[in-house]
Amino acid sequence: MTFKGNYKKKIVLLASGNGTNIENILNYFNNNDRISFLKVFTNNSKAKVLERVEPFSIKSRCFNINELKEGVILKELKLLNPDLIILAGFLLKIPSSIVNYFTNRIINIHPALLPNYGGKGMYGINVHKAVKKNNEKKSGITIHYLDESYDTGKIIFQKEVEIFESDSFEEISKKVHNLELEYFPKVIESILFKV
């Protein structure tokens, strides 16, 4: 969909935890009148992301896994009809009914260079520990479209960072997270506006 006239791109955000990427995205687009953030969905009522989005006056919605599996969330997403659904640290598997309805409209960020270190259970610190254990010389981020499997959708963007033998997995995590903060909003902008 191309930008025409006063049409605002509609965005929905999904997160399960801390929400630093979501907060960063909201800050990046804070004065952009071509984007409307409709809602933040989380499966975790204690998620820090709920606090982080408060200053932006965005509606939030906590849901449970049954609502996801039984189509309640799909119905809500259909009503919102977003141009893009952004997963940033969202840990539940998205049902195929949602993936198929919003084909090429759901993106995810993964803290490794896919196809390496992807799949079920490979998220957050688990990824960085595996990278450290295997003495990798590099790691990075992958932004990709969502498909019906974990971390196998079409890759949109990758950026790598050098890893040193002396780096702890915490240091690897910080390096990768810095890439997320720098590049995720820019890639979102390029997807929405083909910049």
Catalytic sites, residue numbers: 110
The separation between CA 48 and the C-alpha centre of its own chain, rounded to angstroms, equals 15
H/E stretch holding 67: helix 65-69
Return the closest-CA partner of residue 192 out of 29, 21, 14, 19: 29
Q: Name residue 161's beta-bridge partners.
A: 139
C-alpha–C-alpha distance, residues 105 and 98, integer Å: 10
C-alpha–C-alpha distance, residues 14 and 67, integer Å: 14
Return the closest-CA partner of residue 19 out of 195, 181, 146, 190: 181
